[in-house]
Amino acid sequence: MLRTYVYKQRLGPWGLVARVTLDVRSVDRPPSEARGIDGSRVWWLPPPGLTPADERWMAFGLKLVAGQLESLRAGSGAVLVKVDDWDVPMLTDYQDEVAAAALIECLQRNYDIPGIDIGLSFDRERNRYEFTWNGAPAQPDLE
């Protein structure tokens, strides 16, 4: 079943907004076009037209909660996370990290996983939001 979540944060002079729609289900085998998450039993399908940066951050977010998502699978199958839609309103500022944060928070609220602590602060000097993931700064590996 598709679930939509709107991520909204505002700490500084501007805000971060994005909308993600997911379908999460247990499958016997993931489709051939699905992408694996670090050897886990979690696979995902990004939406068409996703930017490479957003794709890296979404995969990063899934990696952070892959162990929790595995509990949603049936038997020896896998969990498939299909990102059906990703939208960032034109009138919002945006940072790539939002792709991970929105995905994780959507999974927390709609699929009953504990998720992780996503810290957020605003660096006025750099005019940029700073994210932490379970208390530590981190970012996806560049491939």
pLDDT in tens, 52-101: 999 999 999 999 999 999 999 888 899 999 999 999 986 667 899 999 99
Kindly give the pairing relationship between strand 128-133 and strand 118-123: antiparallel
Taking the C-alpha atoms of residue 42 and residue 20, their distance in angstroms, rounded to an integer, is 18
Return the sign of the alpha-carbon dihedral for residues 42, 25, 80, 77. positive
Coil, helix or strand at residue 101: helix
Confidence of residue 12 (pLDDT cuts 50, 70, 90): low
> Residue 112 corresponds to which tokens in the numbers above?
């009953």
Least confident of 3-7, 11-15, 68-72, 99-103: 11-15
